[in-house]
Structure formats: C-alpha cells, structure tokens
Amino acid sequence: MEDNVRKELIQSFKKAVTLGKENNFYVDCNYLSKKETSIRKDQMNSDIGKDNDTGIKLRIWDGDKFLESASSKFDEKTIMLLTEELIELAKKSSITQRKELKIDTKNVEKSVSFEEETLDLEYITKTIETYNKKIKELHEAVVNARGIVLQRVEEHIFVNEYKQVHQKIPNSLLAMVGFIQTPKGESKMVYESYVSRTFQENLDKFNNDLPHIKGKIEAMLKAKKLKGGKYKVLLAPHLTGLLAHESFGHGMEADTMLKNRALASQYLGKKIGKDFINIVDYPALEGKHGEFYFDHDGQEAQKTYLVKNGVINTPMADMYSKTNLDLEKSSNSRMEAFDHKNYTRMSNTYFEPGTKPWTELLESIDDGILITDSSGGMEDPKGWGVQIQGNFGQRIKNGKLVDEYYDGFTLTGFLPDIVGHIEDISKEFHIEGGGNCGKGHKEWVRVSEGGPYMLINEVILG
C-alpha cells in the first residue's frame, strides 16, 4: 500500500473510532492484505497459483460481544457507513449491564515494515526444476522429487482509541520433497523445509543440506518397524516444536478454555515439570513463519509464558477471552482473513533452550531413540493428550548413534506426564520449519516449528 493511501485510510479509521466514542461505544478497525504466490513442481506436474485477499473489518463492543462488519472497499464513505450501521445495531442490543472491555490503554503509534523480495516466476520455477533433479541424483531409490515455494506478503493496519499500528511482513517458504521406493516396494518420503524472508536465503540453506538429505535417504532405506513400548528419547528441534505446538499451543488457547474445552485450565498455577522448563509463544521472531509485531487486536508482540519454571503459567488470549476470563496482556488475537472473526491463535510456540550442548544429552543415554522427523501431530485439548505421528528415528547405544533406524511409529501420552519426564534441554535452538495451523480444521494462520533438543524418559512409542 502506498504511503498516501495508508495515511488516508488511517484518518478514516480514526473518524470511525471517534464516532463510536461519541456514541459511548468502543470501535476498532483492521485492514488486512494477504498476497501469496505458490509454485509446486515435480517431474509430472507444475502449478503456479496467486491469491490476493484484501479488505477491512470494523468491530463495535455492545457490552457483551463484538458486532462486526467487513468490506473489500475501504474508502471513507464506506467506512463511515459501516460504522453508523454498527452503532445502530449496538444501540438495539438489550444489554442493561455492560462488561468492561479489557483494553490495553498504552498509546502506541508505530510502523514495522520489511522490503519484499521481487523474483521472476520463471526463475523460481527453473531453479526448482534444477534442484528436483539434484534430489533425484542423490540416490537411485528416489523416483520423484517435488519443490514447493510459497512467497507471501502480509500487510496489516490496526486503529482504535489508543493504537495506530502498521506492519508489512514478507515471508518465504521452501519445501523440498523426495519420494523413495524401497527394494520391498514400500513408498517413503524425505522432506525438508526452510523459512526466511527470501527465496534465495532458503535456497542457500537447502544447498548446504544436500549431504544431510542424501544421508537421510540412505537411512530411510534401512529403517524398520519399532517394537512398541516405553523408551528414553532425544527429540530433535522439529519434534520439540511440534510437541509445544500440538500440546501447549492448542491446549492453552484462552477461547478454548472459555468454552470448557481445555483440561489445561484445571492446571493453571500447578507445577508439572522441572525448573528449567519454559514454554513460550512469541510472535516477534525475525524471519520465522509465525512472525508479526502487532496482533489483530492491536496488542504489541510480547512473550507469553505458557509454562514458566515448570509451572503452568498463563494462556494465550485475544481481547474477548481476556475480558471474559480477566486475563493479562497476550498478543495472540489473529484472523485468517479480513472478513473472519478474531480468535486466540499461536505464532512461534517453543521450549526455551537450556545450557548443555545436545551431544552431552546424547552421551547420557545408554539405550534410546533420537527422533528427528514426523509427518504431523494431533491435539486433544479436552483430555490434554498428544499424538505425534509418522516419526523417523535412530537408535542410541552407550551414548552414541548406531546404524539402526526406525520409521512410521507414533509418540503418544498425557501432557503433564510427558513434561514431568523431561530430563534436560539443549542450548542449541533451531526454528526452521513452518506451516499453516487451523483451529478445528478452519481459520488457518502461519505458525513456526522448532526449538532445542530435548531428553525425555519413559515416552510411549508404538
């Protein structure tokens, strides 16, 4: 958005907020633009897609709930008309005793903007084709390779009585997939993804990873079924990120607690792990997939400690759930698109690092499994269980990795039990992955994946 257009829009938003105040109602305004180009290419198919979703949303607090109106038009006449209609609707609400909306009254006027990368689509497509060939050349077992590139730019403006904030965040994701066929005819997949602000930076990371990917293909060809049972495990960063996301992420969303759908609400203030265990949601990690600097309630990004020193601390929240549950600040209000509702959502959710090198954790294990990859996870906020599926792991014997591999197994358990069995966390910390996370299979937003290495005893694998 051009500077002059942005300034005019902010002035129109301010007029809408003032009109609401003159009628004794809180009004806030969001502008949200999401532009995405996607490229998917393998030896059989090639697909390029573009998506541009841009518009505004106005909200008014009627004393009990938000009334909302959205439009893809955002001239001043449209904005004031929508505001007047919302005020009339709010006046008709039969609420005699209004709840006081929990608002951050700190005055903030700020803009955060990063330059977006401009690359020719033909260049990206040809580059992906070249690197697909490189993956196929790594091993004769690779029957196909697929490159996926997502180039995004998200621009957001929020205005209420206290906030006037703007952010423009470019984001690039590169995923490279190799499809493998074993001598027994089984199909397997090796997958690596990279997130940064630019395609070129992701490509450099992938280049450096080619020897690692070749080793992973060779290991997958040797992998066998793991006998079910309880194991000592060392989780790689990808897995600790997935554990934080699927368990303490969804289980600690305040709007889920508000509906009595999260067992975590019964554990607030209770100690479930060792003092060094801290789980954080923090949007303002530069270049990560869940990056943003103001949420869609205008709250400036900050660390929300879901677990602090082993104690269940505070849930993530949006303005509505803060008001109804009397919670403190949390920058976790997000909407999928301008015409969607705000929900409590994660951003970058992770275990904070420890003090020891990961090799020291490895050397402490007499017999266990290093788990490095997974095909995904499932959460159960109501029962607070977790299931991480399709894992790939390597055996550890006498503190060393041995030439013994397993795949296709599942990690399951009750979260307080799993956290209670965490023995140590590494000082190494890597957040490279990312994807889109839904809330009940809808309301998709960008989130990251990663963290430190983690040593856990008595984990159920099967």
Q: How many CB atoms lie within 10 A of CB 235?
A: 31
Average pLDDT over residues 402-406: 97
Average pLDDT over residues 372-383: 88
Report the Cα 33 to chain-centroid distance in Å: 19
Angle (CA) 266 271 277, round 5° = 120
CB 304 within 8 A of CB 378: no
Task: Retrieve residue 266's tokens.
Answer: 């019964």
Average pLDDT over residues 220-241: 96
pLDDT of residue 380: 85
Band of pLDDT at residue 390, cut at 50, 70 and 90: confident
Indicate yes or no: pTM above 0.75. Answer: yes
Q: Is 126 left (phi over 0), alpha (psi -120 to 50) or beta?
A: alpha
H helix or E strand, kind and range, residue 299: none
Average pLDDT over residues 225-252: 93
Average pLDDT over residues 436-461: 94
Residue closest to 448 by CA, chosen among 282, 315, 214, 336: 282
Mean pLDDT of the chain: 95
Phi first, then psi, for residue 166 (nearest 5°) are: -140, 140
3-state class (DSSP) for residue 157:
strand
Letter for the amino acid at 233? V
Q: How many helices (DSSP H) and strands (DSSP E) are in the chain? A: 9, 22
Q: Which residues lie below 8 Å from residue 300, measured CB to CB, with a gap of 6+?
A: 104, 106, 108, 110, 165, 293, 294, 331
Instruction: Read off the pLDDT of residues 58-117 as tens digits, 9 standing for 90 and up.
Output: 999 999 999 999 999 999 999 999 999 999 999 998 777 789 999 999 999 999 999 999
Residue closest to 28 by CA, chosen among 104, 92, 99: 104
β-strand pairing of 229-235 with 163-181: unpaired
Alpha-carbon distance 373 to 390, whole Å?
8
* Three-state secondary structure of 46-82: EEEEEEEEEEEEEEEECCCCEEEEEECCCCHHHHHHH
Q: Give the position of tokens 């940064």.
A: 196
Residue closest to 252 by CA, chosen among 328, 161, 314: 314
pLDDT of residue 328: 82
Strand partners, 434: 448
Task: Retrieve residue 15's tokens.
Answer: 């007029």
Residue closest to 282 by CA, chosen among 345, 333, 349, 334: 349
Instruction: Read off the pLDDT of residues 19-49 as tens digits, 9 standing for 90 and up.
Output: 999 999 999 999 999 999 999 999 889 999 9
H helix or E strand, kind and range, residue 281: strand 279-281
Choose the weakest-confidence range: 213-222, 271-280, 322-331, 452-461. 322-331
First to last CA, the chain: 51
pLDDT of residue 114: 97
Q: Is 310 left (phi over 0), alpha (psi -120 to 50) or beta?
A: left
Average pLDDT over residues 133-146: 96
3-state class (DSSP) for residue 426:
strand
Average pLDDT over residues 317-333: 94
Alpha-carbon distance 39 to 26, whole Å?
43
Judged against a pLDDT cut of 80, whether residue 233 lies above it is answered with yes
